[in-house]
């Protein structure tokens, strides 16, 4: 019965659980085109998919791109030219038994695919066969249609089994297929096959999870530049996740499918949606003034979102409203169907890296000359000529540097160092005047690296019994020592 359709034969066991997703044709089209599984439809998203086009999509999605490339230039079907764009893909999927020709010995690459055929293909790609108990109870194609629905692949898709497959429906089906576990596995998703081929020289470990980036080094001093906080499937709040150097770019507020191994992000799979960013200039009662991407001023009330995050933790809407201040940043994560917002993230004004004002600090002096800022504040508004030596200067702004002012901290501590605190080989701070002070995030610890073996004695210009001046930042931690 299946000789005239595209039959897949993969092996598996046990039951699979699908991660269903809301119907979003535009979002799925964008993702699948990004991954090169779906070509841009010449007749629009409602254009019909042919067997030849689907053979290419299956080969790419199933990790057969490299195999197909090696098989290009030959053909086993009279109706497919050896040098055609699809010859390698057809040879690849036929060679491993994923697709077959028809009884007349042809492939019919221009023949349109029906929904019944596509349901069969999707289910078989996940490892199901005719002999599985759930499929043997009904005849084809109803058995595969029912199983595709149970797996969440066809949720909300109203096309009938005899309807022709459109590009937009194909995109949704592949998108959902990528997020579905292979039959018999609790860790291997179908998308693993794609990435094993796409990144042959890159080790990808862990499992695929759909998550939103809710914190990074700009939202929390506890995070390094390569660390993030995530919210999503089974993740623990405020766990620090480290991004591998070759994993890909990760933006704050964006929803992704990521491969996560323990607390390490090994690969960025798919960017799920977009964000809207608001650089706050001022807040009056519930009215927020902000600048858009073109630096045009607007006002608004804080939009509703399903969840809000502040300092990496979930807060309700009322707390989020109160958290917004001048120079705050608001990031709203769009829902896939553009009907509203999934997440909102409030980020406090970013103080950036502290810099000590001195006549020989050329980098800071150049930044003062070339950076647009609204004013300088040190207890009151001052002019640049009123800055003093050892003032700690912060360029305070939203995270996109649209609105900026300069905050000056002039707190210092003078006295004799009596001890270093923490491990003697990696001190975390020191004691002056019977008070412990901690080294700040930006303190240059290289000045304390040359330890000679005697407790508290460092072969640098910072030693126990030295009379020193500690320059403190806004957090009360040591920025520098003189």
- pLDDT of 15 over the 60 cut: no
The rounded distance, in Å, linking the Cα atoms of 48 and 42 is 10
457: pLDDT confidence band, cut at 50, 70 and 90? very low
Q: Could you give the count of Cα atoms lying within 13 Å of 363 in the half-sphere of its Cβ?
A: 5
The rounded distance, in Å, linking the Cα atoms of 344 and 317 is 9
Which DSSP string do the residues of 297-332 spell out, in sequence order?
EEEEPPPP-SEEEETTEEE-HHHHHHH--TT-EEEE
Q: Mind listing the pLDDT tens digit for each residue in 345-377?
A: 999 999 889 999 998 889 999 999 988 899 999
pTM for the whole thing? 0.58
Whole-Å CA distances, 449 to 79, 104, 431:
72, 78, 18
What's the DSSP call for residue 218? T
Residue 159: closest CA among 247, 48, 307, 256: 48
Report the range of poorest mean pLDDT among 288-292, 462-466, 469-473.
Answer: 462-466
Q: In which element (H, E) is residue 177 found?
A: helix 167-178
Which single residue is written with the structure tokens 């608004």?
300
The rounded distance, in Å, linking the Cα atoms of 325 and 252 is 19
Compute the average pLDDT of residues 124-137.
Answer: 87
Q: Mind listing the pLDDT tens digit for each residue in 16-75?
A: 323 334 467 888 888 888 888 988 777 788 899 999 999 999 988 888 887 788 788 888
Give the 3-state secondary structure of residue 282.
Answer: strand
Backbone angles phi, psi at 32, to 5 degrees: -70, -30
Give the Cα-Cα-Cα angle 470, 471, 477 (nearest 5 degrees). Answer: 90
The rounded distance, in Å, linking the Cα atoms of 448 and 458 is 6
The rounded distance, in Å, linking the Cα atoms of 67 and 197 is 9
Q: Mind listing the pLDDT tens digit for each residue in 183-206?
A: 888 878 888 777 766 554 456 677
Neighbours of 136 (CB within 10 A): 11
351: Cα separation from own chain's centroid: 24
Neighbours of 70 (CB within 10 A): 11
Which single residue is written with the structure tokens 């040098």?
83
Tokens of 4: 């005239």
Q: In which element (H, E) is residue 174 found?
A: helix 167-178
Neighbours of 355 (CB within 10 A): 20
């Amino acid at each position: 019965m299946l000789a005239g359709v595209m039959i897949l034969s993969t092996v598996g066991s046990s039951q699979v659980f699908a991660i269903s997703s809301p119907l979003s044709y535009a979002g799925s089209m964008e993702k699948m085109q990004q991954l090169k599984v779906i070509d841009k439809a010449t007749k629009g998203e409602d254009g019909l998919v042919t067997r030849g086009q689907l053979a290419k999509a299956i080969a790419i999605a199933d990790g057969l791109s490299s195999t197909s490339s090696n098989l290009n230039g030959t053909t086993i079907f009279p109706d497919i030219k050896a040098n055609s764009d699809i010859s390698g893909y057809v040879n690849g999927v036929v060679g491993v038994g994923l697709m077959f020709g028809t009884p007349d010995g042809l492939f019919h690459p221009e023949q349109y695919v029906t929904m019944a055929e596509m349901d069969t293909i999707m289910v078989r790609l996940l490892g199901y066969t005719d002999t599985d108990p759930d499929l043997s109870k009904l005849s084809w194609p109803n058995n595969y249609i029912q199983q595709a629905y149970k797996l969440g692949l066809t949720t909300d898709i109203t096309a009938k089994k005899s309807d022709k497959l459109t590009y937009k429906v194909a995109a949704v089906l592949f998108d959902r297929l990528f997020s579905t576990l292979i039959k018999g596995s609790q860790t291997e998703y179908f998308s693993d096959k794609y990435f094993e081929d796409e990144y042959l020289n890159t080790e990808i470990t862990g499992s695929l999870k759909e998550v939103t980036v809710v914190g990074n080094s700009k939202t929390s001093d506890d995070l390094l530049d390569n660390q993030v906080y995530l919210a999503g499937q089974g993740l623990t709040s405020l766990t620090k996740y480290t991004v591998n150097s070759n994993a890909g770019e990760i933006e704050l507020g964006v929803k992704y499918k990521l491969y996560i191994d323990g607390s390490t992000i090994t690969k960025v799979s798919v960017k799920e949606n977009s964000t809207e960013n608001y650089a706050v200039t001022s807040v009056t009662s519930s009215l927020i003034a902000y600048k858009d991407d073109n630096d045009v001023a607007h006002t608004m009330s804080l939009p509703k979102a399903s969840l809000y995050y502040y300092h990496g933790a979930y807060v309700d809407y009322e707390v989020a409203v109160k958290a917004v201040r001048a120079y705050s940043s608001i990031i709203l994560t769009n829902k896939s169907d553009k009907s509203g917002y999934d997440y909102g993230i409030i980020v406090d004004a970013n103080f950036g890296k502290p810099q000590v004002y001195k006549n020989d600090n050329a980098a800071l002096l150049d930044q003062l000359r070339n950076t647009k800022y609204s004013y300088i504040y040190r207890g009151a508004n001052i002019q640049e000529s009123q800055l003093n030596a050892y003032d700690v200067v912060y360029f305070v702004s939203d995270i996109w540097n649209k609105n900026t002012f300069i905050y000056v901290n002039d707190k210092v501590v003078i006295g004799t160092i009596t001890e270093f605190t923490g491990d003697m080989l990696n001190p975390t701070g020191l004691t002056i005047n019977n008070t412990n002070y901690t080294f700040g995030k930006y303190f240059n610890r290289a000045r304390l690296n040359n330890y000679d073996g005697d407790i508290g004695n460092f072969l640098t210009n910072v030693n126990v019994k030295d009379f020193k001046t500690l320059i403190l930042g806004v957090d009360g931690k040591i920025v520098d020592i003189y």
